[in-house]
Amino acid sequence: MIRWCRFSASLLLFSFLSLLLVFRYAYAVLPLVAAGLALLCLLFWIVNRESRWRLDRGDGAFLLALLVFAAVWVGDVWRTGVWPVGEGKQGMWLPLWPVLAALVLVAWRKAPPRAGFWWWGVVCGAFLVGGVAAYEHWWLGRWRVGNGINAIPFGNLSLLLGSLSLAGLVSLSSARNGLRLALALATVGGLLASVLSGTRGGWVVFPVLALILLLAFHATRPRWGRFRGSMVGLVAVLVAVLLAMSLMPGAPVKGRFTQGVANLQDYAGGDAGSSLGVRLEMWRAGWQLITLRPGLGWGEGRLEAQRDLWVEEGRFHQGISRYDQLHSDLVDTFARRGVPGLLSLMALYGVPLWLFGRHWRRSGDEQARALALCGVLVVVGFVGFGLSQSMLRDVRGLSGYLGLIVGCWCLVKGRTAGAGLSGR
């Protein structure tokens, strides 16, 4: 049974990484299947009195962060009687998704996926989004690509897939040449999709991810002087690839940056109707909402009602009423659920980041370090993405974050459980 559960977990993780941005309903179907199979495996183990659950304090902290975030969000729904709906009314049950992630984590800790499925899933996912982006941009003539979904989460998650591919490339010195070549090409595919999506927030975050990758590259080399040329070469290749993509004919990079500068100038002149101007208005409204009710926040539905009332009074641009969020996970969560919501968000970011960081620094297993590095990149990436977009209120954003950190954690623990670095 353990072998079957482990194979199903591996296959589901590979499918999730490959199809999240390609198959329209992958964000919901695959996690639901994973949770259902996890429940079946857990029930089987309980009936057969399997007592070795392999959970430690690190797992407990991870599970607590997931469940507290869900509990605060569900409590907010209970007090207001309003469920979040999300874009296209796809996010009705968003507050319960961390509970499903916790269920999967418990089952996958006992029967963890295999690491090879992670790397090839990342490769396939980056390949596919790169292909979709190229097809939409050059064949269909679309300026900003997105595969039929919001271009912002599409671009952010594509960038993350490219960065995870690069993490494998710089960390797995013992990987076979076929995997290394695939990771290199996948890096280009993920970055290409991000560039063609025109998602500016991701481009701001990427230098931070690149810095972490450079630190990881340096950490895998015992002597800085000996490998200085390699690091310089890596930076040069990466910069060349990004510049080449950015300067391609028709690429939206230059236009998006020019548009951003123009939007800021318009906003300074009193015109808040532009894309960036409306976002700045949402942040301004959000901070005013926070100052009025910092304790428990306004709650689901009530935030939108107060915001729209201010719009009617002429205090903010009417364009902000078109959205069901404030284009910032930090601002939106604080304004909506107050201090408890802010603390739960910090735990959802901070606990995994701390745990992944420990394993990245201390593990003696190369594969475990590479996977822990991926976990660090996922959390740091989402923290950065969430500064300018409510990624955790987007169905693919929340599903992607939960799936990536849970899958990565179970893989790391599967490699280190017997190597002396537990969750202490």
Each of the 424 residues of the chain gets a pLDDT tens digit; together they read 778 899 999 999 999 999 999 998 999 999 999 999 999 999 988 888 766 667 899 999 999 999 999 999 999 999 999 998 766 666 678 999 999 999 999 999 999 999 999 999 999 999 999 999 999 988 998 888 999 999 999 999 999 999 999 999 888 877 788 998 899 899 989 999 998 998 888 888 988 998 898 888 776 654 444 444 455 555 556 656 666 666 666 667 667 777 788 888 877 777 777 888 889 999 999 999 999 999 999 999 999 999 999 999 999 999 999 888 899 999 999 999 999 999 999 999 999 999 999 999 888 889 999 999 999 999 999 999 999 999 999 999 999 999 999 999 999 999 876 444 444 4
pLDDT tens profile 88-132: 666 678 999 999 999 999 999 999 999 999 999 999 999 999 999
Q: Residue 243 has what pLDDT?
A: 63
pTM assigned to the model: 0.93
Position 156 scores a pLDDT of 96
HEC profile for the chain? CHHHHHHHHHHHHHHHHHHCCCCCCHHHHHHHHHHHHHHHHHHHHHHCCCCCCCCCHHHHHHHHHHHHHHHHHHHHHHHHCCCCCCHHHCCCCHHHHHHHHHHHHHHHHHCCCCHHHHHHHHHHHHHHHHHHHHHHHHHCCCCCCCCCCCHHHHHHHHHHHHHHHHHHHHHCCCCCHHHHHHHHHHHHHHHHHHHHHCCHHHHHHHHHHHHHHHHHHHHCCCCHHHHHHHHHHHHHHHHHHHHHHHCCCCCCHHHHHHHHHHHHHHHHCCCCCCHHHHHHHHHHHHHHHHHHCCCCCCCCCHHHHHHHHHHHCCCCCHHHHHCCCCCCHHHHHHHHHHHHHHHHHHHHHHHHHHHHHHHHHHCCCHHHHHHHHHHHHHHHHHHHHCCCCCHHHCHHHHHHHHHHHHHHHHHHHHHHCCCCCCCC
Taking a C-beta distance cutoff of 8 angstroms, is the pair 376, 353 a contact?
A: yes
Answer for the pair 280, 388: CB distance below 8 angstroms, yes or no: no
Q: What are the CB-based long-range contacts (under 8 Å, 24+) for 33-37? A: 34/9, 34/100, 34/104, 35/100, 35/103, 35/104, 37/5, 37/8, 37/9, 37/12, 37/107
**CA pair distance 21, 26, nearest whole angstrom:** 8
pLDDT of residue 419: 44
pLDDT at residue 223, rounded to an integer: 41
The closest alpha carbon to 394, from 200, 208, 156, belongs to: 156
Q: What pLDDT, on the 0 to 100 scale, is given for residue 220?
A: 63
Read off the amino acid at residue 275. Answer: S
* Residue showing tokens 């951003």: 260
